[in-house]
Amino acid sequence: MADELFEAELFDEEPAEEKREKRQLNGAMGATIAIVVLFIVLAATVGMPQGLMGNDGSSSSHWLPPVEERTGKIYDDSDVFSRVSWNGSHAVGEVQSIFVEVPAITLKDGGAGATGDAEVHLGLWLPVIEGCDYTGNISEECKIPVIAEIGPYYDDGDVDALTPADRLGRFLIENFVPHGFGVAQVSVFGTGESNHCMDLMGLDEQAGIKAAVDWLGSQPWSNGKVGAIGKSYDGSTPWNAAAAGSDYLTTIVPMSGLIGLHELMWRNGSMEARGAIMHNGVYGSFGLDGDLEDAQNGCEGYMEGYYAGLAAYATGDDLSWMKSDYWTERYFLDRAMEMYNGSIYIIHGMQDWNVDPHMAFPTHQIAIDNGFEVKGLYGQWMHDYPDRPGGHDGGIGFPWSLRWDWADDLLEWFDFYLRDNGPQPRLIAEIQDDLGGWRVEGTYPPMDTYWNEMTLDQCDITSGSDTVTTTSQTVLDCGTMEEDFRIIGMPTIHIGARMLGTSGHLFVEMQRGSDGSHLGHAVMDLRFADGGKDGVAAYIPGTTVLAKMEFFAMDVVLEAGDNLVLVITQTGEDYIPSTVSTTQVNVFLDDRSTLSLSTVDRTCDDLFLPPMQEQYPMCMD
């Protein structure tokens, strides 16, 4: 278990309150800083790529138009990912193989801490800039920022860290190194050529990530600013890095990333089928590859993994009641809000079933409320990148989900937050609905959201009854839309339920009546009827509860004439009943149960068309 000494080594010692004050001050001074930067750029543009100048030859306007005005822009769509609309002028240097010592890992951590030689490995690509010698005395104009992708897959299911990965590394290297950025591919502990233990998102892993970020930000050739970006596990390490508190981490771009490991696998006490085995059954095996370092996998986090998943499945909670910190140290968001002092660009697929979008919402607004500068990009893709045709083809919102302007969008973001080249990107949420339409919101869910509430006695039972068993389902038709109706954010359904035994389990799917297509879903172990992580061990058989269920985030449109359908089952879509769930739950389909739909008023006039796409069919009239 982590002690105070370890936390002092791992985390920044600057008080969290001072960091929050700095963020608020930075936010208040943002406009002033941007103006000062413009004057500096006008006075001296040494080493600045020409494309940073405005279209009129000045630096008072940005080269990239607002997203609503990019419809006519043409991009190179010949590769598997997007390309910046203008190439940088620098060659890409030879890859460097770097091993970074992690002194925070000590004897008490086991693994490589026993020998005192814990280290993480990274591949590093730097631009070849004329007149800049990275081995000698380096002038300020030669110093560069670094973009890092950090994860477990290099040489473990993918290429090694010294080879540009099709996953994201090649995209970063080919687009951004020519524009004067360094790019690093970093292996977390226990994977690739990094030693020590595969400590699935735990404090050891955070210490290794912090060491890599600190090294990248403190080199003589570095301008002291590092950005972390990635998808899935690699999209969780940016949050992991933010929680670790490196002074050099300036921006994070988590894509389909986890704000916490337990938060992904458990929802209102209900567990995904993979939850109990993710550490030792999946990622823990990365540290066992037949070499002499296999013994280093016998560290604290790996050993705890044997019981943590199964015990959490049995109880539905994070085990804090038994003094276990396995899951709490793998929750990043609260510590990121305290320790981090940079910007956040969240990207998530609204159809992602691998990492559900409840990782992004309400995280987006939580970060804003904590004083961070936040942007969001939320399209109707699954567990994928915004610009990969192979991962979007045939999906909801395709082809309009494809964002060929994403490389440009990131260049704008990294220019400002890693090089202070402005103006500042707009801090907005770009959201796509399930009919394909994109629009801009100030945040997500929008601030002008309002609610439509109905009781379930207003719905007709078209199949089943008020008794839900493991083999039956109840289908409700909740009415025909008189006009187009947009359902956004996290709607709620509160269902009265009586349990035959000591607990029960419910899964509610919202469907489009015309074709049965999925709109959204909610899940709950009834021991956690009030939602969240606080539940009871068991109920007296026959107990009635009000199950306060919240749907996973959605942005969907029910068109006029279509019906809203609810399908109530005991479980569905990867979730499994708890160990104490019973075979029968009686639900109250009367005025004791309510469906609350969150909505906003938007029309075709509020939509923008992304580059390289044709007009939306629903807006042809």
CA distance 564 to 321: 41
Q: What is the per-residue pLDDT for 422?
A: 83
CA distance 140 to 46: 10
- Note the pLDDT tens digit of each residue in 141-197: 899 999 999 999 998 888 999 999 999 999 999 999 999 999 999 999 999 999 998
State mean pLDDT over 261-289: 77
Whether the pLDDT of residue 538 is over 50: the answer is yes
**Lookup: tokens for 304:** 């705890």
State mean pLDDT over 116-138: 92
Host H or E run for residue 91:
strand 91-92
Return the number of other C-beta atoms located less than 10 Å from residue 15's C-beta. 10
DSSP letter string over 494-557? Answer: EEEEEESSS--EEEEEEEETTT--EEEEEEEEGGGTTSTT---S---TT-EEEEEEEPPPEEEE
CA distance 546 to 567: 18
CA distance 344 to 322: 34
Instruction: Say what percent of the chain tops pLDDT 90.
Output: 66
CA distance 262 to 306: 15
Top pLDDT among 255 and 115 is at 255
Q: Are 59 and 38 in contact (CB under 8 A)?
A: yes
Q: Give me the amino acid identity at 170.
A: R
Q: Which long-range contacts (CB under 8 A, 24 or more apart) does 318-324 make?
A: 318/262, 318/266, 318/533
Q: What is the per-residue pLDDT for 15?
A: 44
Q: What is the per-residue pLDDT for 500?
A: 85
Whether the pLDDT of residue 563 is over 90: the answer is yes
Q: Which of 245-259, 289-303, 474-488 has the lowest mean pLDDT?
A: 289-303
Task: Catalogue all structural domains in the chain, each as residue range(s) with its CATH number.
Answer: 4-441 (3.40.50.1820), 450-599 (2.60.120.260)
CB under 8 Å to 270, separation ≥6 — which residues? 316, 505, 523, 524, 525, 528, 571, 575, 576, 577, 578
CB under 8 Å to 287, separation ≥6 — which residues? 189, 190, 191, 197, 198, 293, 294, 296, 297, 302
Helix (H, G, I), strand (E, B) or coil at 190: coil
CB under 8 Å to 477, separation ≥6 — which residues? 459, 460, 462, 513, 563, 564, 565
Q: What is the per-residue pLDDT for 197?
A: 87
Whether the pLDDT of residue 125 is over 90: the answer is yes
- Report the sign of the C-alpha dihedral through residues 369, 374, 379, 382, in that order: negative
Whether the model pTM is above 0.85: yes
In angstroms, the first-to-last Cα distance of the chain is 63
- Helices in 177-266 by DSSP H: which ranges? 203-218, 233-244, 261-265
Helix (H, G, I), strand (E, B) or coil at 429: strand
Closest CA to 397 of 350, 445, 346, 446: 350
Q: Go through 145-181 and write b for each residue having 16 or more CB atoms within 10 A of its CB, e for each that does not.
A: bbbbbbbbbbbbebbbbbebbebbbbbbbbbbbbbbb
Q: Are 374 and 364 in contact (CB under 8 A)?
A: yes
- Note the pLDDT tens digit of each residue in 333-349: 999 999 999 999 999 99
Strand-pair category, 91-92 with 127-128: antiparallel
CA distance 252 to 242: 8
Q: Which of 123-132, 264-273, 461-470, 493-502 has the lowest mean pLDDT?
A: 264-273
State mean pLDDT over 258-280: 83
Whether the pLDDT of residue 504 is over 80: the answer is yes
Q: Give me the amino acid identity at 104.
A: A
- Note the pLDDT tens digit of each residue in 424-446: 999 999 999 999 999 999 999 99
- Note the pLDDT tens digit of each residue in 508-535: 999 999 999 999 999 999 999 998 888 8
Host H or E run for residue 16:
helix 16-43
Whether the pLDDT of residue 43 is over 50: the answer is no
Q: Confidence band (pLDDT; 50, 70, 90) for 352? A: very high
Host H or E run for residue 569:
strand 563-569
Q: Are 391 and 381 in contact (CB under 8 A)?
A: yes
